[in-house]
């Protein structure tokens, strides 16, 4: 048997947003590896072994996947959203770079998924319709000073922004600081979208001007989108539609 590794994105939550490519690859796998809640989204079946682990062991999990593939198993490493966005694809390549030389002969594929910011953007309208950037607000893997620097420069460059991992119980104060920095850089009126649990039964979308944004509006199931200076909010019935025009003035 020839082993392989596929690093797959399961999308933001809804079954309908899992790509057919990911579904077909899971149907052909012998092993699925990933963080506990993501592995729980994969249906059990005979011949498939599920290996669920804690979030903090990304590189161990990646090594385990590569080792199993080297032994001839067909392994899918699952992430939510897209596996290349703050997720397992980079961890697998880190493990590959530091690992056994023969791992580089393995077939390794990255299967894209719908990332949270794009699912949220589609729900809100088209807030990311012009230039934008994505910033992970967790300081688990980088210093807080770097997050603040990137935030200030992104605001200065007038990007729309998407924030992943905005606020956890372990670091509630970071997102309050982010809002302070944004208010100083962008003024009070900038539209902010709090998109929670997009495409799941718990989905909730809140659109407020920056001046009304509060730290408690975000948690670890929320992606936060902040408009650029050109982003507008249209009222369509009782639904706010947020969009950033396709062009910027000279
Ligand atoms: C470790 S990152 C993983 C991102 C994932 N790879 C992706 O492409 O969406 C986890 C963060 O993604 C965001 N997220 C993931 N799924 C979401 C959803 N259904 N609704 C809103 N935000 C989500 C949240 O900001 C969460 O803290």
CATH numbers and ranges of domains, the chain:
4-114 (3.40.1010.10), 117-243 (3.30.950.10)
Has residue 60 got a pLDDT over 70?
A: yes
Ligand 1 environment, Cβ below 6 A: 12-13, 79-82, 85-87, 115-116, 120, 164-166, 195-200, 220-223
Q: What percent of the chain has pLDDT over 70?
A: 100
The average confidence (pLDDT) of the chain is: 96
Assess whether pLDDT exceeds 80 at residue 171.
no
Specify the ligand 1 atom closest to the Cα of 12. 19
Look at 104-108, 169-173, 184-188, 235-239 and tell me which has the smallest mean pLDDT.
169-173
Can you give the pLDDT at residue 172?
80
How high is the pLDDT of residue 250?
87
Judge whether 35 and 24 are in contact, CB under 8 Å.
no
- What percentage of the chain carries pLDDT values higher than 90? 90
Report the separation in Å between the CA atom of 149 and the middle of ligand 1, taken as the mean of its atom positions: 22
**Neighbour-count burial for 168-206, b at 16+ CB within 10 Å, e otherwise:** eeeeeebbebbbeebeebbeeebbbbbbbbbbeeebebb
| 67 alpha carbon – ligand 1 mean position (Å) | 28
**Predicted confidence band at 1 (pLDDT cuts at 50, 70, 90)?**
low
pLDDT(195) > 90? yes
């Amino acid at each position: 048997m020839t082993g392989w590794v596929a690093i797959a994105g399961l999308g933001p939550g809804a079954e309908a947003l899992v790509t057919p490519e990911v579904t077909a690859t899971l149907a052909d796998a012998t092993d699925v590896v990933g963080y506990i809640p993501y592995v729980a989204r994969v249906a059990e079946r005979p011949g498939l072994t599920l290996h669920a682990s804690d979030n903090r062991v990304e590189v161990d999990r990646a090594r385990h996947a590569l080792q199993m593939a080297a032994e001839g198993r067909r392994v899918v490493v699952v992430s939510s959203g897209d596996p290349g966005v703050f997720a397992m694809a980079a961890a697998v390549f880190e493990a590959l770079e530091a690992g056994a030389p023969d791992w580089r002969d393995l077939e390794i594929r990255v299967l894209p998924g719908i990332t949270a910011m794009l699912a949220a953007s589609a729900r809100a309208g088209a807030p990311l319709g012009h230039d934008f950037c994505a910033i992970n607000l967790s300081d688990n893997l980088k210093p807080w000073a770097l997050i603040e620097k990137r935030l200030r420069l992104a605001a200065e460059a007038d990007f729309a922004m998407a924030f992943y991992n905005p606020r956890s119980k372990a670091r509630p104060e970071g997102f309050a600081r982010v809002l302070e920095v944004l208010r100083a850089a962008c003024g009070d009126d900038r539209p902010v979208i709090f998109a929670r649990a997009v495409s799941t039964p718990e989905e909730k979308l809140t659109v407020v001007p920056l001046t009304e944004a509060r730290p408690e509006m975000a948690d670890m199931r929320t992606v936060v989108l902040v408009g650029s200076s050109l982003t507008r909010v249209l009222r369509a019935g009782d639904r706010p539609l947020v969009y950033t025009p396709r062009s910027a003035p000279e």
